[in-house]
Structure 1
Amino acid sequence: MAWPFQQYVSGVRGPTGFLFSAFIAADGSVLKPSIDDATRWAKSFRPLREMVGIVTRKKGPPESQTILETVRSRLGAKKGLCLLRGHGSAINLPSASPRWMAAAVFFDNKWYTKGEQVLARIDEILGLLQALPTRDFNAR
């Protein structure tokens, strides 16, 4: 499930923009958690050792770079990036728990004027996030 309209602020004068996140099951389906589940699941992905990969304009799988840049330019954002975190094995996961957490951040100081643009791109953004676990982050 993607969550649009969450403001990203790293400080009083920090950058602003949009944050989208999706919890993805081992079979690749996007999970739709309750607020409590989303909080609990997000906390389970905190350790850095669970970072699978990052996508920016210059890093990550080429297919994902292309989609990220297309969405970023259509939104008119200055920068965009995607992160993928994952649990090493689905064997130890409780049933109905996500294997991956994917997130996309688009930095844009005019985020509050772009609601319609974001809604028009929500399926593209969700597709980008859902495809991340299938991409090869080790290929150079």
Structure 2
Amino acid sequence: MINRVVLVGRLTKDPELRYTPNTGIAVTTFTLAVNRNYTNQQGERDADFIPVVVWRTAAEHCANYLRKGSLAGVDGRIQTRSYETPDGQKRYVTEVVAENVRFLDPRSKSVGGEDFTSFGEEVNEDVPF
């Protein structure tokens, strides 16, 4: 069976870095806006807004170097999970668990104005299952 997804899009807001309470593992979440390949009736491109989760060192790199509007490539797998709200309602979540993240903006845009000409940093981390 295959569960693989590859996305390229822009972050809709700054990434959120947290650490798991018991083990202190870094986890970063962000939403990637990915344009569709076709236009709607008004001639505009619609976008899908896809939640992404990144773990461990890759999570810290994403939190440090990505910002709202950054162009990023994500390679990972789709994961679904559910949880129960305090008022007893069951909620379902579908998200991409990133295994590789590529920063596609020039470094000069994403790192404090320093002038770098290379594009991207690949982050490849094992994701806990």
User: Does the pair score TM above 0.5?
Assistant: no
Q: TM-score, normalised by structure 2?
A: 0.30
> Relative contact order (C-alpha < 8 Å, sep 6+): which is higher?
1
Higher percent of residues as strand: 2
Higher percent of residues as helix: 1
Structure showing greater radius of gyration is 2
